Chain A
Amino acid sequence: MRHLLSAGEIDRDQAVLILDTAAELGAVTDRSIKKLPTLRGRTVVNLFYEDSTRTRISFEAAAKRLSADVLNFSAKGSSVSKGESLKDTALTLQAMGADAVVLRHGSSGAAHRLAHAGWIDASVINAGDGTHEHPTQALLDAFTIRRHLAPEGGDLAGLSVAIVGDILHSRVARSNVHLLTTLGARVTLVAPPTLIPVGVESWPCAVSYELDPVLDSVDAIMMLRVQSERMQAAYFPSALEYSRLYGLDAARLSRLPEHAIVLHPGPMNRGMEISADVADSSRAVMVEQVANGVNVRMAVLYLLLAGDGKDAG
């Protein structure tokens, strides 16, 4: 792998390798040293055109634990907010000798473009592009699910995962559909028809317009953030109606199988897609997801940068 642009281009063995690597690196850094020398002398740039403190910090921690130098370019207070084009910024990063660029961008395909337009030689890691993909989020979700429900390792064959909410605008959902099915899980998307993408029939997953019928058969349920602005665009009539039909509350939680876990990519809208008591319950694994995010991102940086022939120190 030279870039990580889409979960759709990761095959099963690569996915398992990333998850296994994340587990190993996590074990080492948890145990003692905190820092591995693996990427000493390498430069990782976090280029964030959208505010996402949690994702940026996660990548930053991952890179630092591998001893890489980290440069943060964020939209606020830098040339990227002053209308400098992605291309010009890329040329600057190229001149600075970036080895990897972690890109968060509001435009679908931005990471793909950065990787393939001939502007830069660095590896590109997609940290979320528009409504397209967010592959490291899917990897950390898969990692979290595996740790709970397939602790012996390997893939996720036989597990059933529901993804509930604004599928249409969700890069997390797209990446998860690709990755979880690649790993052998059965995925069901749950949303009102207005928030289901056109052409979803060609996706390797099931679709349900109702949440209740899927509850008793899932091993993991992922609740997506639903922005209340979607109401203005007539995707659903009111926040109340949405949460009544698609929100995960205590009553619905009690109908999940006992082993089932609840995921959320954050930030949560408590009272909208998830009730406060569910968010705080022992079934919810959001805090673990954050910790696992660092491990998975370490694994991605390691696999992209450590083996490419340059002196990795």
Chain B
Amino acid sequence: MAADNTFIQEYSIKGWDFTRAGEASCEIKNILKQIGVSQDVIRRVAIASYEAEMNVVMYARQGTMRCEIDTTKIKITIEDEGPGIADIDQAMQEGFSTATPEMREMGFGAGMGLPNIKRNSDGCEVTSVVGKGTKVAMSFNL
């Protein structure tokens, strides 16, 4: 815990590394379990963080997942270096996906990731610069 009672932990995510994909989300889930966060919040954080982590794995070169917890909320921010998203409204629509045939064969590319993040978080903001990267900031009230 930092002086202002905020717990902060950061994880790195490697693009296209499907062998370690999901590990950061699993670690965050374990932390939330240890500190006794409610089952419902843990469930929602797990879904949203996994989807954001997978999007970095699938579309970006590399990224970080930062988890901040204070007494009132959990904030998870995923920032990547990658192609960015040209039309965020379109990307947020259920079913929209630019996943490759290989990814679809693995069961990715339903176009449900960003909608899952929105549905399961208490607040989420997606910002992006084409050619630079994408940032997904989500929060969960405690």
A and B pair up = no
